Amino acid sequence: MTVDITYEPDVAPPPRRFVPDAFDAADPASLESLAGELIGRPVGNAAAFEAWILDWSDLARSFRAARQRRRIAMTRNTLDAAARDAHLAFEKEVVPRWRRLEDAFRRHYLASPFRRGLGLRYAMLDRHLAAAQALFREANVQLLSDEEEIALRYARLVGRRTVTCRGKGMREQECAALLEDPDRALRKDAYLALAAARAADAEETEAIFDALLAARHGIATNAGCADYREYRFRDLQRFDYGPDDCARFHEAVERHVVPPLTARMERRKRSLRLDALRPWDRVARGDGRTSPPAFSDEKGLVGLGRDLFRAVDPGFDAEFDILVRNGLLDLMARPGKAPGGYNAEVHDIRLPFIFANSVGRYADVKTLLHEGGHAFHTIATREEPVPELAHAPMEFCEVASMTMELMGLEHFGEALPADEARAAAVQLLEQRLWLFVWVATVDAFQHWIYTHPGHARAERHATWKALRRRFEPFVDWTGMEEAQAIDWHQQLHLFRYPFYYIEYGIAALGSLQIWQRFRRDRGAAIGGYRAALALGGSRPLPELFATAGARFAMDGPAVAEAAQGIIERLREIE
């Protein structure tokens, strides 16, 4: 399957300012020529300086679009050698040159006498460019490309993996769906099949991770950072919190989320008449019933999504229709697709593309709501020419997505049969409690990994198992210790997006506040949500939260309030 990467929509983007229509950002010579022309342009006043920034933004969007189109094609079919080679060639040949051009642009920007006269509109751009320039090192240009190439090995490994359960070969997502089946023997077989498939690839997976650690340690050292954690926090431009705040979040989850989740799991054990909650019992329905397929194909999933988006606000359905009619969706699982799901902006047309691996579960509907929230965020900032001002910090990007999940939850009854709507709502809210403990686990694991360079694999496995016991003490892993030691291999972010996980915890806290507001006053909640999305990255993170009607916090009181809100809503539904 060779994948088209043209995506010419029927909704025209804002016109280009500087980049010619025939320009090819994948051609290094053309890219360097156009960038060189721009960097060498004389700038004699504040208006000319702003025009220079906007023209650079036009060029940056062309580069990002060329990169994104190739990434999308590669993830849609990791078995397509042409798509894979095109993506890899771009990463190896074009991206390093672009990083050097960005460095030259930032240096010119930061040296300009007109920089301080740009006003509030450009304040966040100024902060972003200054922080990026302080971290840039020429020695890291090649290492960053090497890191991307190593991470792609993980995507290909997972993309080609087949799981065999009861004699039938299937995709990981299909096998994972069996973990919701009321037949405990089938759930166990499915879990063991998944564990066996990951174990078969464990040596290769560990080797990939070791290579990533080596590359990341080198990147941090070159940048003069104490360790990769320091480098990555600066790279992600986490201006409003640091490692100590993350540690407090972990402690708050242990104190305020683990106890009520433990109580829920004890209730599940009683309901399902289990002697112990095993790894294959974590996501089974608590009422012991079978969830029928929510849909059978992409058309069915799109229909469910449209119903829910329309119920939340008709404007969201209209925006979703742009993606439907322009082929900007790839939602169903199939052999060769990369794992996971994402929303990606195709920067030159300024529209989102949604990628998923759906197999018919209600969880897939939740994923579409999640990625739909990201998509509406992209559309809300479509007219903003400067990418850095259009793109919010990831902590707030996840507020956009996770809030849409929760607002959709309130309308499950309008799109699903009553019993199934209730079960799906319970599942989503329980998963939000699970999310807190999983975020704390994954984030704490990364903090340990990158502050212990040179650790042995056995130490890594022992640390992971200890964290699993800390945050999920109610799961019995007896006899499954080897599977437990490597079940972090399933977490894509550890390989491709290091330290990108605490965002989900922070965003969950914000989204739960907006959801509570939505239940009290939907008009005010939708208005605040849309207003915050439209700000993009033009305001600091706490201000984005405030505009949406939430408080930016990741401390004990915030976590306790969130957990209590979930428990109270579960009681109402049940």
Q: Tell me, what's the pLDDT at 423?
A: 87
DSSP string, 392-429: PPHHHHHHHHHHHHHHHHTTHHHHS-HHHHHHHHHHHH
Q: Tell me, what's the pLDDT at 4?
A: 56
pLDDT(521) > 90: yes
| Tens of pLDDT, residues 233-271 | 999 999 999 999 999 999 999 999 999 999 999 998 998
Angle between helices 243-256 and 258-272 (to 10 degrees): 40
Q: Tell me, what's the pLDDT at 285?
A: 75
Rounded CA separation 308/239 (Å): 35
- Give Cα 387 distance to the centre of its chain: 18
CA angle 322, 325, 326 (to 5 degrees): 80
Residue 330 parent element (H or E): strand 329-332
- What lies within 8 Å, CB to CB, of 499 at 6+ separation is 229, 232, 233, 236, 443, 446, 450
For 36, other C-beta atoms within 10 Å of its C-beta total: 12
Query: Band of the pLDDT at 1, cuts 50, 70, 90?
Result: very low
pLDDT(371) > 50: yes
Structure letter (DSSP) for residue 182 = S
Look at strands 351-358 and 329-332 and give their pairing.
parallel
Angle between helices 298-312 and 362-380 (to 10 degrees): 60
Q: What is the mean pLDDT of residues 420-437?
A: 91
Mean pLDDT score of the chain, rounded to an integer? 94
Exposure b/e, 483-496, CB count within 10 A at least 16 = b: bbbbbbbebbbbbb
| Tens of pLDDT, residues 33-50 | 999 999 999 999 999 999
- Give Cα 550 distance to the centre of its chain: 21
pLDDT(321) > 50: yes
> Which of residues 496 and 416 earns the better pLDDT score?
496
Residue 89 parent element (H or E): helix 81-89
pLDDT(534) > 60: yes
Per DSSP, helices labelled H in 451-555 are 457-471, 481-485, 492-496, 502-520, 522-535, 541-547
Q: Tell me, what's the pLDDT at 434?
A: 95
Q: Tell me, what's the pLDDT at 417?
A: 86
